[in-house]
Structure 1
Amino acid sequence: MNVLTTAALGLAVFTGTLATGTAPALAEKHALIVSINEYAKDPWKLRGAVNDGKNIERLLRGPLGYRPDQIKELFDQAATRDAILSNFRSWLIDATKPGDEVFFYFSGHGYQQPDTNGDEEDGLDETLVAADAEPDGKGGVRNMIIDDEMELLLDALKDRKVTVVIDSCHSGTISRGAFNEIEGARSLPLIPEIDRPQPISSRALALHRAETTFVAQVPGRMVWTAVAPYQKALEESRSNPVAGVFTTRFVRGIIDKKADANGDGIVTNAELYAYVQKESDVYCKSLQACQAGLTPTLEAPTAQLPLPVTGGEALDAAPSASPSAGPATTPLSEPTLPPASLQNTATALLANDNQGGVQVEVLPSGPIRVGQAVRFRVTSQVEGSLVLLDANAAGELIQLFPNEHSQAQNRSNRIYANRPLTVPDSTYGFEFTASEPAGQGKLIALVLQDPIDLSVQVSQHRDLNPVAKPVDYMAQIAERLRRPWTQGATTRMTRWSMTSMTYTITR
């Protein structure tokens, strides 16, 4: 049987700012940056939001290719509710056309208020707190912008390529008392006249933690948020200058290419997402008071995950499903990549730490000759579910494990700590044989410590044949692995490990 042949991950290339679609030749770019330190009430004031806005401007004018006249800023007292809404309409909606790129950024306080139209399962609308927000004397806050309003504005940007980045949090009163207050949190501090008096039910809390982002992801729209629901976005209060934890890493990941996990000189959306999640988690663990975690989120069509953040053209791939909506539809077609591009795309999509100490080997070791029988051995220091992939020199991707033979023997896809798993083993009744073309391939092993359901993805590819639409397949796996884990006491990153190794086939 031929193995060491793998299916090409079709890399969708990207035109413009962090969002996909094929833009016309004369597509324009418009950005609106809203950053607020100076709130009307002293206890609400922040220190790093405006620095974040300036860093986002630097990012836009640098790698993302915006001209100064394509960027509008509303800082501090200029960022009233009316000013934010009117500039959104005039600058991002009325002044753009289908095919244009739109970028909206907000850094400041976020909050919650009781839902008024019944569209929130947890009974709460999320809000952006404008500079002129203040207690309304009735237990609430006036001059906030609720998520329903933002949805209507964003819906008016149909057929644009839209990126939304929110560096605030929307935990508000629902997390009040669950964790200690923390310095530099971008959620309104406890103020008696606006704090919610009634207790929060465990069901409402669970529904809130399971929500996705401030606004929904739809085709053509990417939504980045600094934290998951129930968490608090933070400023690095001891840094100079003070700035937001998330925005600092978001900008650094692109400008300094800190997010380039596979070292190919290109930062993809998947790599940036992995980087901001990892670095935010590291920062949180350095603070005793950061008990709720810091887990950035990204809502985007799966086809955008392998795209470079700074430019390119998208493939005709399917949008991702929302976490509750089931699997995404598959794309109509994917072009075949050169083998090296396939392998880089695979490692960029699935970039992650190897916290489980996973090792993968080809047996026998050393260069492999065409016609030679080979096996694969995976060892892990932790127990979990194993997915083993082969991106070969033919530009194909094959799911080596789990496969139909292990399934026929009623084996699960479990790998146990320090117990090597070999594919194929003696019970398979056949061997894998290296085949043409000669060249380099890459094995990729994923070990999932948390019980993540990948059955929709892996069950379709147990036949050891090349995956027909590898970009969509890999992107769906990546999207599922990067969702925040909400099943424990606190929200956190999902626990999984990734490692890869390069092998060579010779004649």
Structure 2
Amino acid sequence: DGATKLTAYVAPRASAEATGRPSPRHVGGTEALAARVRGMGGAAWALVVGINAYHHAERLNYAVADARAVAVALPGFGFETVRLLLDDEATKGNIERVIYGEFKERMKPEDRLFVFFAGHGISVRLPRGGEEGYLLPVDADPHRPELTAIAMDEIRKMGKRVNARHVFFAIDSCFSGFALTRDITPEIVTDLEIASALEEPVVQVLTAGRKGQKSIEEGGHGLFTRRLLDGLQGLADREGKGFVTVTQLAAWLSPRVARDSAGRQHPQYSALDGEGDFIFVLPHAKR
């Protein structure tokens, strides 16, 4: 049935003194806004995919460990439903069934959807110019991506087809396929922007790197995923408000991955549709 046993992963949480961040007491904005964010209505859904053992592509080392770590962390952020697909479970059919069947049929307009994918991504040159990016499920044939892989344009469509207000794809793969913003937004987001983000719909994507770059794996995890988890543990919450928007997360993560990889990996961000912003309420702020 695709159920997978999870093992616990706890990212180290740096103290306010060590990071220079304010304490989680909500600094720099109104308590009313902080309470409003913490009390966001709607359910939070997550699909987490990790693939090491590909049928027709090079094996990866830590994609499964990355997926497990993300899946274990998500309930702390208020995700009631976390579906984990690993290796042979992560077929194109199963991925689409979870999103379009299991999730879509039960979602409501105020809900949120987070999709994490750790695996291969490829870029294919198009006959009339340009390129198209694809995510490779475990059963994908890299030589026939149109038939067996998930096109990046399909990612945009997935986000628009589901009945969720906020949709965020975090993809630990490097490829091209649509315009991704290189100048990521500032790490500080105003209260007015956050209040607006709560109401406006959005589909956002954050990828591990550009075309031609490799997602670096070291220390038991991919660099992108390690920094993603660090940011969500609170390091991206520079004002200590108790929550992190995806634009803040992208702005915090991108330069650090570029630095830690000595310039070999540059995460890419884009809002594919809508004007809102996906918001993660940090575990320590839920009290």
Q: TM > 0.5 between the two?
A: yes
- Contact persistence 1:233–1:294 (CA under 8 A): no
User: Aligned residue for 2:130?
Assistant: 123
TM superposition shift of 1:151: 2.7
TM superposition shift of 1:272: 2.4
1:55 and 2:69 aligned: yes
- Contact persistence 1:167–1:233 (CA under 8 A): no
Distance 1:273 1:154, change over 3 A: closer
Distance 1:273 1:244 in 2: 16
User: Aligned residue for 1:295?
Assistant: 267
Q: Which amino acid aligns with 2:134?
A: T
Distance 1:61 1:159 in 2: 18
Distance 1:103 1:308 in 2: 10
Q: Which amino acid aligns with 2:207?
A: T
User: Aligned residue for 1:279?
Assistant: 256
TM superposition shift of 1:111: 0.9
Whichever of the two has the greater Rg, that structure is 1
Distance 1:303 1:71 in 2: 23
Secondary structure of 1:134's match? coil
1:162 and 2:162 aligned: no
TM superposition shift of 1:148: 2.7
Distance 2:261 2:44 in 1: 35
Q: Percent identity?
A: 24
User: Aligned residue for 2:7?
Assistant: none
Question: What does the per-residue CA deviation read over 1:149-171, in whole Å, with 9 as the maximum and x for residues that have no partner?
Answer: 33332221245321221111115
Secondary structure of 1:83's match? helix
Distance 2:134 2:109 in 1: 28
Question: What does the per-residue CA deviation read over 1:253-281, in whole Å, with 9 as the maximum and x for residues that have no partner?
Answer: 122x222334x363532542232112102
**1:137-286 equivalent positions in 2, closer than 5 A:** 142-171=147-176, 211-212=179-180, 219-227=201-209, 229-237=210-218, 239=219, 241=220, 243-255=221-233, 257-262=234-239, 264=240, 266-269=242-245, 270-285=247-262
Distance 2:279 2:153 in 1: 30
Q: Give the structure, 1 or 2, with the largest relative contact order (CA under 8 Å, sep 6 or more).
A: 2
Secondary structure of 2:55's match? coil
User: Aligned residue for 1:34?
Assistant: 49
**1:275-424 equivalent positions in 2, closer than 5 A:** 275-285=252-262, 290=264, 293-299=265-271, 304=277, 309-310=280-281
Distance 1:147 1:232 in 2: 17
The structure with the largest helix share of the pair is: 2
User: Aligned residue for 1:66?
Assistant: 79
Distance 2:216 2:47 in 1: 21
Structure 2 gap ranges (5+): 1-27, 182-199, 283-287
Distance 1:135 1:280, change over 3 A: closer
1:75 and 2:90 aligned: no
Distance 2:161 2:248 in 1: 30
Distance 1:125 1:135 in 2: 13
TM-score (norm 2): 0.69
- Contact persistence 1:253–1:259 (CA under 8 A): yes
Distance 1:157 1:250 in 2: 24
Distance 2:154 2:160 in 1: 10
Question: What does the per-residue CA deviation read over 1:287-306, in whole Å, with 9 as the maximum and x for residues that have no partner?
Answer: 7xx2xx423424376663xx
TM superposition shift of 1:232: 2.2
1:46 and 2:82 aligned: no
Secondary structure of 1:226's match? strand
Secondary structure of 1:272's match? helix
Distance 1:298 1:267, change over 3 A: farther
User: Aligned residue for 2:195?
Assistant: none
TM superposition shift of 1:82: 1.2
TM-score (norm 1): 0.41
Secondary structure of 1:40's match? coil
Secondary structure of 2:217's match? coil
Q: Which amino acid aligns with 2:103?
A: L
TM superposition shift of 1:147: 1.9
Structure 1 gap ranges (5+): 1-7, 17-21, 172-207, 312-507
Distance 1:52 1:169 in 2: 16
**Which residue among 96, 100, 105 is the counterpart of 2:107?**
96
Q: Which amino acid aligns with 2:60?
A: L
- Contact persistence 1:31–1:92 (CA under 8 A): no
